């Protein structure tokens, strides 16, 4: 066996392991998860992953390890483990099932309705306190104002499968990743990056049942791809759109602003126009209509100062420290601040001169933040996984 054949065999073996382990995860989720949308996802996704694994076995037997064939299998896996279960759940929900969406989908759609009716997607804590206890958690929208736009289709057109916010999350995700692919050299590095940002169960599960993090991630990856292609103005627009949706994109915007400075004043100014201007433009109307409600939802509620507490409580170090040590929340906050200072020093001493370097900083920085935040979710790990997986692909922009 030649060196090339050995490399190709190892690549397909890695693909087989990815799809096989993912099928096992989906099957276990279908059988044991306490969240009904997750169980429904697992029942459909198990078959999708299993067929993808069989396809890889066929490739191994037929000695067809080409990138095109592998990409087709990855596309099939994404369609059957993310898009198909998402559409099934959206259809079932439109038909009356109340257990076919996670709470964030309902929260965002209600935010879209409030945006349409009142000009702001937020309710103040005083108003939320008057709601029945079972509805108070759903009264909070702990996202940036732009996220409510995904709820507008349902607010305007009513209950239908295609007005489900997840459908629009998926469309935004596909558009963002599709543009990123066009900006980068297509090959094994990009394909592996796509697999690790679309096929591993963390992403299809999130997209099919909740999904609000996935378009944010796709826009951040698109911004990094634009930086790799030295299109800093477009990068600013992409990361600015992400920052108008969720706070998780703000650290990415900060890293890209530092990266833009390494390219010169003019590229930095073009990047800053979108990265700062777009989230500011999204914030202003909500602040002008009801600044108190904005603060209650986006700042106080995530810090645990709302009428009810956030259910985001994955057992990472920050959460365990906050819950189990005296003054634990203060200790976790201090550790998080120390991590932020360390990353700031890293940026000052070794500013990222390439998009790949910026992606690596974003990956490790967000990993530290996710591990140390007092309130966090396991699903947030899709951010650092994707940034680190895409770093090699950002070293190869597409030919002009």
Cα 8 to Cα 3, 74, 111, 187, 188: the distances in Å are 9, 16, 49, 13, 10
Q: Give the per-residue pLDDT at 70.
A: 93
55: left (phi over 0), alpha (psi -120 to 50) or beta: alpha
Please say if the pLDDT value at position 262 is more than 70.
yes
Q: What are phi and psi of 340, to 5 degrees?
A: -65, -40
Please say if the pLDDT value at position 38 is more than 70.
yes
In the structure encoding, which two tokens stand for residue 96, read together? 């009356």
> E strands of the chain, at which residues?
none
Q: Which of 65-69, 147-151, 289-293 has the lowest mean pLDDT?
A: 65-69
Per the DSSP assignment, residues forming a β-bridge with 376 are 313
Say what percent of the chain tops pLDDT 70.
97
Could you report the per-residue pLDDT of 16-37, keeping only the tens digit for each?
Answer: 999 999 999 999 999 999 999 9
CB distance 147 to 114 below 8 Å: no
Could you report the per-residue pLDDT of 369-385, keeping only the tens digit for each?
Answer: 999 888 778 889 999 99
Q: What are phi and psi of 184, to 5 degrees?
A: -120, 155
Residues comprising the chain, all counted: 400
In whole angstroms, what is the distance from residue 239 CA to residue 241 CA? Answer: 5
CB distance 396 to 189 below 8 Å: yes
Q: Give the per-residue pLDDT at 333.
A: 82
Q: Name the residue with higher pLDDT: 85 or 60.
A: 85
Residue 365: HSE in the Cβ half-sphere, 13 Å Cα cutoff: 24
Number of H helices, E strands in the chain: 18, 0
Q: Which of 44-53, 127-136, 328-337, 380-389 has the lowest mean pLDDT?
A: 328-337
Q: How confident is the model at residue 253 (pLDDT cuts 50, 70, 90)?
A: very high
Q: Give the per-residue pLDDT at 22.
A: 98
- Long-range contact set of residues 366-370: C-beta below 8 Å, sequence gap at least 24: 366/248, 366/251, 366/252, 368/339, 368/343, 369/251, 369/336, 369/339, 369/340, 370/316
Q: Give the per-residue pLDDT at 5.
A: 61
CB distance 300 to 355 below 8 Å: no
In whole angstroms, what is the distance from residue 372 CA to residue 152 CA? Answer: 34
Please say if the pLDDT value at position 102 is more than 70.
yes
Q: Give the per-residue pLDDT at 2.
A: 55
In whole angstroms, what is the distance from residue 70 CA to residue 77 CA? Answer: 11
In the structure encoding, which two tokens stand for residue 79, read together? 């369609």
Q: What are phi and psi of 313, to 5 degrees?
A: -140, 50
Q: What are phi and psi of 170, to 5 degrees?
A: -65, -40
In whole angstroms, what is the distance from residue 224 CA to residue 177 CA? Answer: 11
Please say if the pLDDT value at position 15 is more than 60.
yes
Please say if the pLDDT value at position 296 is more than 60.
yes
Residue 362: HSE in the Cβ half-sphere, 13 Å Cα cutoff: 35
In the structure encoding, which two tokens stand for residue 87, read together? 């559409």
Q: Give the per-residue pLDDT at 326.
A: 84
Q: Cβ atoms within 10 A of the Cβ of 90, count?
A: 23
Q: Cβ atoms within 10 A of the Cβ of 174, count?
A: 16
């Amino acid at each position: 066996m030649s060196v090339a054949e050995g490399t190709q065999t190892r690549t397909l073996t890695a693909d087989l392991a990815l799809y096989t382990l993912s099928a096992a995860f989906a099957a276990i989720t279908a059988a044991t998860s306490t969240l009904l949308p997750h169980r429904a996802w697992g029942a459909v996704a198990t078959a999708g992953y299993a067929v993808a694994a069989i396809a890889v076995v066929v490739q191994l037997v037929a000695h067809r390890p080409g990138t095109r064939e592998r990409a087709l299998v990855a596309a099939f896996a994404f369609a059957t483990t993310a898009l198909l279960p998402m559409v099934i759940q959206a259809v079932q929900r439109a038909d009356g099932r109340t257990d076919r969406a996670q709470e964030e989908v309902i929260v965002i759609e209600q935010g879209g309705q409030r945006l349409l009716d009142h000009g702001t997607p937020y309710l103040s804590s005083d108003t939320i306190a008057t709601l029945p206890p079972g509805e108070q958690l759903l009264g909070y929208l702990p996202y940036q104002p732009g996220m409510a736009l995904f709820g507008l289709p349902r607010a305007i057109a009513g209950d239908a499968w295609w007005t489900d916010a997840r459908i629009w999350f998926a469309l935004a995700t596909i558009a963002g990743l599709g543009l990123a692919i066009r900006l980068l050299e297509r090959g094994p590095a990009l394909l592996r990056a796509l697999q690790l940002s679309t096929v591993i169960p963390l992403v299809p599960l999130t997209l099919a049942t909740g999904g609000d993090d996935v378009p944010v991630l796709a826009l951040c990856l698109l911004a990094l791809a634009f930086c790799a292609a030295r299109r800093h103005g477009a990068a600013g627009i992409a990361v600015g759109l992400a920052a108008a949706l969720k706070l998780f994109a703000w650290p990415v915007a900060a890293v890209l602003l530092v990266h833009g400075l390494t390219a010169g004043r003019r590229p930095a100014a073009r990047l800053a126009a979108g990265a700062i201007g777009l989230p500011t433009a999204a914030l202003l109307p909500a602040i002008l209509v009801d600044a108190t409600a904005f603060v209650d939802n986006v700042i106080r509620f995530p810090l645990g100062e709302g009428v009810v507490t956030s259910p985001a409580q994955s057992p990472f170090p920050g959460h365990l420290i906050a819950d189990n040590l005296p003054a634990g929340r203060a200790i976790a906050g201090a550790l998080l601040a120390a991590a932020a200072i360390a990353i700031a020093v890293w940026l000052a001493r070794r500013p990222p001169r390439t998009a790949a370097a910026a992606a690596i900083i974003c990956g490790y920085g967000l990993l530290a933040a996710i591990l140390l935040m007092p309130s966090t979710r396991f699903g947030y790990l899709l951010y650092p996984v994707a940034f680190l997986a895409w770093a090699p692909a950002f070293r190869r922009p597409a030919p002009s």
